[in-house]
Structure 1
Amino acid sequence: MVLLERHGNPVFTRLADKYLARDYVREKIGEKYLVKQLWHGTAPSLIPFAKLPAKCVIKTTHGSSWNIILNEKSDHKEVVNTLRKWLKENYYWVQREYHYYPIKPRILIQDFLDDGYQDGPLDYRFWCFSGQPEAIQVGNNSPSGHIFFDTEWNELPLRYNDRFEDFAIEKPDNLNEMVQVAKSLSAGFAFVRVDLFNIKGKVYFGELTFVPAAGYIKFITDDWDVVLGDKWVGGIG
């Protein structure tokens, strides 16, 4: 049995940090796969709202789903107050995911990605084991998006939440490039989910996820626990 202290694996911590992970991506696959960074810092009051584009994304580097889509209707005071609240919180205490505990809270502002989907952009999540993508989960920001494919774009009979419904997604023309990116970023890890965006034929890095849904996923059907679990060889990450 592997016992982990609260501070956990420093490599996981570095790569779960949405700011520091960018350096890892540069080293592995190059700058071109990074979403343009507009600003970063630790003080919400210093955000240069007047210099930002009409639409962009504000996120914190130390948690999950702490994102704000900034647009012309956004209340800047409310945005600042929300960010101040998030920066005071340690995401470790939400689900006890150990690698989040040491992450330094920061603000990261990036370009808004638009792939034409109403609830997009679509998130292509590559479930990778020892550097090999085995399943691709595709979804968006609405409850309607949740489909699994293999790396040849054959739909898999795999789900993990009954509330999701299928919707049509065509095979990306640059799927091979996305698979290669996922292989490069996942090399050396027994398991990691590599999340990518595909914006009109251009691939962008999203994030690396070491514990999807904090480990509370219930696969449908149960046999997928065995199918994917058998591919997890060589430790915790």
Structure 2
Amino acid sequence: MRLWSLLHPIRTYKAWHFDRYIQFTEQWRKLVAQDPKKAFDMKWNRFYRRKFPWKNPRTLNEKLTWMEVYTDTSKWSEFTDKYEVRKHIEELGLKDILTDCYGVWNKAEEIDFDLLPEKFVLKCTHDCGSTVIVRDKSKMDRQKVIDFLNKHVAIWYGYDSCEPHYTSIKPRIMAESLIEMDNSEEFSSETTVDHKIRCIDGKAQYDMVCYDRSLESGSGGTKTIYDLYDIHVWQPMRQYLADSGVNYRDVPRPQNLERMIEIAEIIAKGFPQVRVDLYNVKGKIYFGEMTFFAFSGMNNHFTKKFQRMVGDKIRLPKAVK
């Protein structure tokens, strides 16, 4: 148990009550849909033990949350959909960075596994943490995969985590080609290195490099390492990481880094901020996804100083809600 929990039994009770509230009642789902501002007030108090600064958001987390509540997030929903966003990437003239898509289905029983190649990836189009990597189809437990995907596709993602723009995305399952890992003696990872490039006003700011990803426990997991790099000079910025005791390893400068930055900025154009996730395997760049509300607006990987530094760069659009 955390120290602050021992010292603040009343606060601990409130946190427990909040957790029970979102897990066992329909009121929370209705609140997220009908009054997201109030839902965020509850969530913010639960995690940060203070009121949300609606009149003067300053940090990255605060400005992301403000935009989720007060701006038009219809494009967030459209481009967060892992299948629909592919059309947008093609329209930008970037079809060459897309993985092959083998199909999209409403439920796992509709998947004809016999038509899929020996290696592929399955994922739900509407959520986070439902990825299934199949490296050898002959060894795949088909029923286990079906049960896993059906469990996730049945969830209207976005309510528990309070991410309203997710709730309008139709739950589906898609299959795509597997991006092979680019391991070498210089650097190796248990999963393909993920470059999460934060762009503000269409300009790349930094690269949150993700490796050794723990897929079994969702998008984050306890093993996943999130590192931070100045994307333009490719130097670590770990002084701005709040995580302690992490065994960071220097990630080699990606091949065609300049092209990767160019692609991220093409995709990010027109948005006050967005995180563009890319893979770069031996100089071949692949699109991952667009993320508008990273870590549900509760990104605690960064120090308060860095949160403020990034937040100061984001110019909030005019409120429309």
| Pairwise same-fold verdict (TM > 0.5) | yes
One-letter amino acid of the counterpart of residue 51, structure 1: L
**Could you say which residue in structure 2 is the equivalent of 1:126?**
197
**Could you say which residue in structure 1 is the equivalent of 2:299?**
217
Alpha carbon RMSD of aligned pairs, Å? 2.2
Of the structure 1 ranges 131-140 and 66-75, higher mean CA displacement relative to structure 2 is found in 66-75
Deviation at 1:53, TM superposition (A): 1.6
For residues 3 and 15 of structure 1, do their structure 2 counterparts lie closer, same or farther at Cα, with a shift above 3 Å needed?
closer
For residues 107 and 219 of structure 1, do their structure 2 counterparts lie closer, same or farther at Cα, with a shift above 3 Å needed?
closer
1:19 aligns with 2:100: no
| Larger radius of gyration between Structure 1 and Structure 2 | 2
1:146 aligns with 2:226: yes
One-letter amino acid of the counterpart of residue 148, structure 1: L
For residues 3 and 34 of structure 1, do their structure 2 counterparts lie closer, same or farther at Cα, with a shift above 3 Å needed?
closer
One-letter amino acid of the counterpart of residue 26, structure 1: E
**Could you say which residue in structure 1 is the equivalent of 2:116?**
52
Of the structure 1 ranges 154-163 and 50-59, higher mean CA displacement relative to structure 2 is found in 154-163
Of the structure 1 ranges 2-11 and 148-157, higher mean CA displacement relative to structure 2 is found in 2-11
Alignment of 1:88-167 (within 5 A): 88-117=154-183, 118-140=189-211, 141-142=213-214, 143=223, 145-150=225-230, 151-156=232-237, 157-162=239-244, 164-167=246-249
SS in 2 for 1:228: helix
1:181 aligns with 2:245: no
Cα deviation, 1:78-124, whole Å, max 9, x if unaligned, reads 11122221111011123010110010011110111112334120000
CA distance in 2, matches of 1:163, 1:53: 40
TM-score, length-normalised on structure 2?
A: 0.69
CA distance in 2, matches of 1:67, 1:74: 14
**Could you say which residue in structure 1 is the equivalent of 2:280?**
198
TM-score, length-normalised on structure 1?
A: 0.92
Cα deviation, 1:2-58, whole Å, max 9, x if unaligned, reads 686799621110011000010111111321010111121113112121121222110
Uncovered stretches (5+) of structure 2, i.e. residues with no partner: 1-53, 55-65, 184-188, 215-222
SS in 1 for 2:290: strand
**Could you say which residue in structure 1 is the equivalent of 2:218?**
none
**Could you say which residue in structure 1 is the equivalent of 2:93?**
29
Residues 190 and 236, structure 1, Cα contact 8 Å, conserved in 2: no
Of the structure 1 ranges 26-35 and 135-144, higher mean CA displacement relative to structure 2 is found in 135-144
Deviation at 1:219, TM superposition (A): 4.7
CA distance in 1, matches of 2:179, 2:200: 28
CA distance in 2, matches of 1:9, 1:201: 33
Residues 225 and 248, structure 2, Cα contact 8 Å, conserved in 1: yes
CA distance in 2, matches of 1:37, 1:105: 17
Residues 57 and 109, structure 1, Cα contact 8 Å, conserved in 2: yes
Cα deviation, 1:181-230, whole Å, max 9, x if unaligned, reads 11011111111100000122100110011111111112543211221111
Of the structure 1 ranges 217-226 and 178-187, higher mean CA displacement relative to structure 2 is found in 217-226
For residues 6 and 179 of structure 1, do their structure 2 counterparts lie closer, same or farther at Cα, with a shift above 3 Å needed?
closer
1:226 aligns with 2:308: yes
CA distance in 1, matches of 2:318, 2:84: 21
Uncovered stretches (5+) of structure 1, i.e. residues with no partner: none
